[in-house]
Chain A
Amino acid sequence: MSLKHDIEFTLNGVTKRLTVDVTMNALDMLRDVVGLTGTKYGCGEGECGACTVRVDGETRNSCLMFAVDLDGRDIVTIEGLAADPKADALRDAFVEHGAVQCGFCTPGMVMQAAHILDTNPDADANAIKRGLEGNLCRCTGYKKIVDAVESACCGGR
């Protein structure tokens, strides 16, 4: 019924060509069309950060993006980050600090944490907290997450 549009973009380093409904959001596209389910649906309205992905080097809530707007862009999801050796220190830090409980927020947290460390390698606990403001966690109470990111930041150097 509704209008479809062809798009082409880079997803985790690989060129993708898809036809999507013009009103579809990027989160539904990743999960339901591409089948990458590491990116989570929490709220669908920009409040929780579970759907965080990297678009042209900046993190965005994929639930707020129109999938057609991905045309020509470079997208990295948690699956792409997991394959990046540069993210090993961050993943190890999350494990070591017990920063994962149910794990639902974790992909978004790790995407955003990687972005914080990329853009501000000297981030202190305060900068990390500010950077993670858009990511909700119902389990950990955040402290372990902030500790993990902080140790990945300074431990990585």
Chain B
Amino acid sequence: MTAIERYAAPQSLDEALGILQQGEVTILAGGTDLMPQTKAGRVAFKPTLMNIGRVAGLKGVTLDGQHLRIGALTTISELLRDPLVAQHAPVLAEACDHFASDQIRNAGTLGGNINNASPAGDTLVPLIVLDTEVELASKPNGSVATRRMPLAEFFTGPGRTKRNANELLTAVRIPLPKPGHVARFYKFGTRPALDISTISIGIAGVMRDGTLTNTRVAFGAVAPTPVRAPRTEAALEGRRLDAGAIEAAADAARDEVNPIDDIRASAWYRKELIHNMTKRMLDHVAQA
């Protein structure tokens, strides 16, 4: 059945990257995606199963110059109660509050949520509108190399990313908010707990004198990956956030998403939700 030939639980990043460099590795963090996916046969184990849970230095939230740095092994529960996240990225904490159940939040990691690359992954939309970068480490020729990439460019399809097989996602970096920064997250599910998003919306920008700039809008669960919404952003960028601009942006949002019918909702319903909730969120930003 399984072809696992080796189990490894490295304690250092160096050791973990060395194992990855040898190829054909399944990475295990909290296991809340990997366990059900392998059990159901949707994901096959590679010959090496590497548990990264004991790798030192991959956990926790720190300030790194003008960035908030969050280690890949930081759990959703830890994000939810972290004072730096509450101060600098409250919209991420809000998304974590709508995430699964306490037991799953205690197990699930941020790195797992990102690498699982579900279009409905709840941290992804807020992280994208916060201009988050992922940090990927590898050890191609004996020494550790890292590269960074905007999270918005990281996803290539459901369960697929631009991470190379020899790379580990070590952390994300979020720029500290500028004065006037606003950010909102909205998740629609049919019940409050343990529900996969039907759609989710993230909106961020800098609000000054009633005008929104640096506009970021992203949607979850309306495409094969979480997506930025360039036309909705353009409808808002540099405009006064009045009723006309809000209506135009909500229309642009509805026209620009191309969701599917599935068990959670029809495409039509998703488009209406995107329109109505984008409008409501922008109304709240305008009134705040």
Contacts and interface: CB of A to CB of B under 8 A. Distances in A.
**Mutual binders A and B:** yes
Interface residues of A, number: 33
B7 A22 contact: yes
Contact of A65 (B49, B77, B107): B107
Nearest to A21: B2
Contacts of A64: 30-32, 35-36, 104, 107
B165 interface: no
Interface stretch (B95-103, B167-175, B238-246): B95-103
A40 to B, nearest CB: 14
Q: Binding site of B, secondary structure by majority: helix, strand, loop or mixed?
A: mixed
Nearest to B81: A119
Interface string A37-76: 0000000111101001000001111011110110110000
Interface in B7-28: 7, 9, 28
Contacts of A134: 100-104, 193-194
Contacts of A96: none
A68 B1 contact: no
A151 interface: no
A23 B4 contact: yes
Interface string A1-32: 11101000000000000000011010000000
Contact of A68 (B45, B51, B107, B193): B51
Contacts of B193: 130, 133-134
Given A23-B4, A61-B103, A134-B194, A46 B28 contact: no
Nearest to A2: B2
Contacts of B49: 22
B7 A5 contact: yes
Contacts of B30: 64
Given A2-B4, A22-B49, A23-B4, A49 B31 contact: no
Contact of B103 (A1, A49, A71): A49
B78 to A, nearest CB: 10
Contact of B5 (A3, A25, A63, A66): A3
Contact of A61 (B5, B28, B107, B192): B107
Contact of B104 (A46, A71, A116): A46
A69 B31 CA distance: 9
Interface residues on B, range: 20 to 34
Nearest to A23: B2
A80 interface: no
A3 B4 contact: yes
A133 B7 contact: no
A77 interface: no
Contacts of A61: 32, 103-104, 107
B189 interface: no
A112 interface: yes
Interface in B78-105: 100-104
B30 to A, nearest CB: 8
A131 interface: yes
Contacts of A68: 7, 9, 51
A63 B4 CA distance: 20
B31 A65 contact: yes
A66 B28 contact: yes
Contact of A52 (B1, B53, B103): B103
B102 A59 contact: yes
B39 to A, nearest CB: 7
B106 interface: yes
Interface string B35-70: 110110000010001010110000000000000000
22 contacts: A2-B2, A3-B2, A3-B5, A3-B6, A3-B7, A22-B4, A46-B103, A58-B77, A59-B103, A59-B106, A60-B107, A61-B104, A63-B35, A64-B31, A64-B104, A65-B35, A66-B31, A69-B31, A69-B53, A112-B103, A133-B102, A133-B194
Interface of A: 1-3, 5, 22-23, 25, 44-47, 49, 52, 58-61, 63-66, 68-69, 71-72, 112, 115-116, 130-131, 133-135
Closest 10 CB pairs between A and B?
A134-B101, A133-B193, A58-B106, A22-B7, A134-B103, A64-B35, A3-B4, A61-B103, A133-B101, A5-B7
